[in-house]
Amino acid sequence: MNAEPLRKDDVQAQNSPRRNFVEVYQNAGKAFHLIDKYQTPPFPSTYSLWYAYVSGADDQLVARVDEVLAKHGELSAYEIEEIVQANLAQDSNETARQNIGIAFEKEMESVLQIIQEGVKRSDSFRSTLTDAGDKLPNSMSSDDLKGLVSGLMEENRRMAEVTQELNDGLIESQKQIATLNKELQEVQNQCMRDSLTAVSNRRAFDKRVLAEVNHAEQSGEKLCLAFADIDHFKRLNDTYGHQSGDAVLQMFAAIIDQNIKGQDMVARYGGEEFAIILPRTDILGAYNLMVKIKHSFEKAELTIMGNNTRISGVTASFGISRFKPGMTVQQLIERADSHLYEAKNAGRNRVKAEGMS
């Protein structure tokens, strides 16, 4: 599957505010089709990759995607991230929103044209009725009346057909707008997701922890925050390679996510560090939960596809803080981070929390 590269003038035209709405909309549809076909996660970076691929705006990206698809028949999360980092700008979230926004604008333009046509047809029909009303008093013969009635029936038939066409057009645009709205919502949701591990990202964490601290301050409810960091992660990367390291990150995120409750939140805070927000949870409950996650991760085994490398016995350290009235978000984070360093300095593969051994 190859996309024909665009000429330089075509690429410049795409970047112009007046670029072709139809082409953008069609490319957006093709990009979402490829996301579905190859079962790649619908993240903004994935969308941007497929959009750039179908538009042919980057020869190197097209060649690299074709090479991976020919070799493996699919794109892994690692390969997507690698291609995006090598070929696309870092504002993929904004690119995705802009492209869908342009498609929205095209559909709204269609709706406006339909409405304008409806107004035009309505004015024409009203003029016909007015003209018939003016002629009716002077139409004494049966032939005149028949002519007026026949004309009105014909105009009514034409108006009914036009109305049906306009309604069909509005219904179709409504469907397109609903689809675009859903896709935009997905993109906005994925802007808050880490593209590698599929858990929440730092931006989502910052927003949520602020909201939870404010809520705990006002309601008096309990709140705990935990930081988790994979032990000796650099050594793991150096030994097994970055692809294996990414797989371990994904496994760790999945284990945390499987053990927390619906009200809780896990986010990739940065690198190999994760943050877990635990609303309505006391320090003992948070401690026991982190111990459970620690043991689950330590016992987990991972087989790397492609080279059959088996990785096991990887550990993580945890630090927990609890919210106290008057505490700021930064103070809550600093205390959790401090307890994490305690766990690291005490020999790693430990859980440290205020008042807990």
Among all residues, which ones are annotated catalytic? Answer: 272
Lookup: tokens for 281: 């949870």
User: HSE (CB half, 13 Å, CA atoms) of 81?
Assistant: 11
User: CA-to-CA distance for 335 and 333, rounded, in angstroms?
Assistant: 5
The SS3 assignment for 346 reads: coil
Q: 156: closest CA among 133, 131, 120, 122?
A: 122
d(CA 298, CA 286): 18
Kindly state the tokens that stand for 101. Answer: 């926004």
What's the start-to-end Cα distance of the chain, in Å?
A: 59
Location of structure tokens 């593209």: 195
Residues 207, 344: Cα–Cα separation, whole Å = 28
Which tokens in the block code for residue 326? 């008057």
State which amino acid sits at residue 3: A
As a whole number of angstroms, the distance between CA 140 and CA 201 comes to 81
The β-bridge partners of 352 are: 319
* Long-range contact set of residues 332-339: C-beta below 8 Å, sequence gap at least 24: 332/209, 332/213, 332/223, 332/225, 333/209, 333/225, 336/225, 336/226, 336/227, 336/275, 337/227, 339/227
- In angstroms, the CA 329 to CA 216 distance is 11
CB 233 within 8 A of CB 293: no
d(C-alpha 244, C-alpha 6), whole Å: 36
